[in-house]
Amino acid sequence: MQHSIRRTLLIWLLLPLITLLAGDGVNAYFTGLHIANTVYDRALYDSVLTLGVLVRSNDGEVSVDLPAVARRMLEVDPLDKVYYSVHSMDGETLAGTSALPALMDHMPTSAAPIYYDSLYNGQTIRIAAAKITPQGDGLQSVIVQVAETRKKRQVMTGEILRQSILPLAIYLILSLIVVLIAVKHALKPLQRISEAVDRRTAIDLQPLFVSNAPIEIRSLITAFNNLMKRFESSFALQKRFVANAAHQLRTPVAGMRAIIEAEIMDVPPEQVPPALAQLHHSILRTSRLVTQLLTLSRAEPGIPVTHVAVDMSAVLAATVQDHQNLASEKNITLTTTIESNLIVLADPVMLGEMISNLIDNAIRYSPQGTTIVIQLERTEKTVELKITDEGQGIHERERDKVFERFYRSSNTRQDGSGLGLAIVREIAEAHGAQVSLLPRGDKAGTVAMVELPLAPLKQATPRG
């Protein structure tokens, strides 16, 4: 089971409360039992005294002058059965029920009553007994017992318990509600912080506000802010390293490329030495990698991007024209359907680089003699760019992975650094665009689709 602060707080708050209320319920039960016993014990004692008044002593003979009416009043009870007996001090039954339990250890020694529980006819009974000195000559004392079953006591105890439990139950329910509200309110700052962090983009490394946070979580927020500072420093260092390394490589690579191309400029391709041809190929690949690293460093999250109104139709047309020679080398036809005057807010250089990478990928991974279809059209709120090739396609499990840096599909044999699509995604995210790779249905190939938000009308004037 996962650890939960909410559950822990509820347990520690509600468990003692429930235990306390359960204890109050038990106490209410015993209190009700005590009250019921006290009330009905006094009634029993009154019956003992009443019966004692009717005991007579005449020449040492003890008798009980109990009229039939008085006997019926004594024995008739709507809930309980009542029994009585009068015993001599030596245990002889003088009147009443002789089968009542023997006194045993409950022998009264004075007129003060004693009360005890016993069993009679399979029922629990309550007995009151007292030592009574009868009127008349010969002061021989007797023991008077009056007993009754416990139904009235149970009814009274239950009623007292119900009257006590009802307020306790209401108090428990109200307490549960208050505790739940209190815990929810106490955890709200954590929820707000969680939502604030969740809303952040990958480039938002600003510290969280500590002043408004509860004291208990300020140390956590401070630790999080310190982590963001360390991450920002490390991120900035990495970006500077990539940019500096790319800049440092750009000049010597360009120099070597110029020297090699000067050497092979007037030499027929079949006469170029294999080693020199391979070196030229490696230099071209290295030059492309350096260019991609520079583009990637500019598209990194956190780098401010200038958004201006750009006619994407014009940018796409120019980029397609730049790739005609590369397509011609593989006898690939670039077919375009471009809707005019589609204005987006973007960095024109980065936008062109994104389109260039998509077209370059399509050409590199398409077989010779195929056709690449490039479409640009307006939807309700976006500009939609589709580039459809006839290559091998990308397996479904790799369609997200190919956007990772330096990842190369397992079924490709083309040279590349694995940065082209990573650059496309970085630029797309910097412009609030969506990029995806889709299959061509039942045909071989891939559809690269980019959706960019249309510029608002008041900003839809492109820069010349």
Low-confidence ranges of the chain (pLDDT < 70): 1-2, 57-63, 66-76, 102-111, 135-139, 201-204, 235, 238-239, 242-250, 285, 287-306, 405-418, 457-464
What is d(CA 251, CA 241) in angstroms, rounded to the nearest whole number? 16
> What is the helix (H) or strand (E) element at residue 132, kind and residue range?
strand 123-132
Give the CA dihedral 293, 294, 295, 301, nearest 10 degrees: 90
Which of 291, 296, 294 has the alpha carbon at shortest distance from 253? 291
DSSP 3-state of 173: helix
DSSP 3-state of 449: strand
pLDDT of residue 250: 67
Q: For the stretch 399-430, what's the b/e string if a residue is b when 16 or more beta carbons lie within 10 angstroms of its beta carbon?
A: beebbeeeeebeeeeeebbbbbbbbbbbbbbb
Around Cβ 76, how many Cβ atoms within 10 Å? 9
pLDDT of residue 47: 84
pLDDT of residue 463: 56
Assigned token pair, 112: 């003060």
Which of 368, 411, 419, 418 has the alpha carbon at shortest distance from 392? 411
Give me the DSSP letters along 182-217.
HHHHHHHHHHHHHHHHHH--TT--PPPP-TTS-HHH
Residues 456 and 344: beta-carbon distance below 8 Å: no
pLDDT of residue 399: 72
Which of 10, 1, 2 has the alpha carbon at shortest distance from 186? 10
DSSP 3-state of 408: coil
Assigned token pair, 414: 């083309």
Residues 293 and 245: beta-carbon distance below 8 Å: yes
pLDDT of residue 162: 85
Which of 299, 335, 346 has the alpha carbon at shortest distance from 203? 299
What pairs with residue 333 in β-bridges? 371
Which of 123, 101, 130, 127 has the alpha carbon at shortest distance from 115? 127
What is d(CA 231, CA 206) in angstroms, rounded to the nearest whole number? 11
Assigned token pair, 221: 């927020």
Amino acid at 149: T
Give me the DSSP letters along 75-110.
H--SS--EEEEEEETTS-EEEE-TTSPP-TT----S
Around Cβ 199, how many Cβ atoms within 10 Å? 8
pLDDT of residue 464: 47
What is d(CA 312, CA 352) in angstroms, rounded to the nearest whole number? 9
What is d(CA 346, CA 176) in angstroms, rounded to the nearest whole number? 56
pLDDT of residue 323: 87
What is d(CA 228, CA 238) in angstroms, rounded to the nearest whole number? 15
pLDDT of residue 461: 60
pLDDT of residue 444: 80
Around Cβ 243, how many Cβ atoms within 10 Å? 17
DSSP 3-state of 248: helix
Residues 116 and 44: beta-carbon distance below 8 Å: no
Around Cβ 52, how many Cβ atoms within 10 Å? 21
Residue 197: φ, ψ to 5°: -70, -40
The burial of 198, by beta-carbon neighbours within 10 Å (0-12 exposed, 13-18 middle, 19 or more buried), is given as exposed
The Cα-based distances of 399 to 231, 344, 388, 428 in angstroms read 29, 26, 15, 16
pLDDT of residue 295: 64
pLDDT of residue 274: 80
Residue 91: φ, ψ to 5°: 95, 0
What is d(CA 367, CA 364) in angstroms, rounded to the nearest whole number? 8
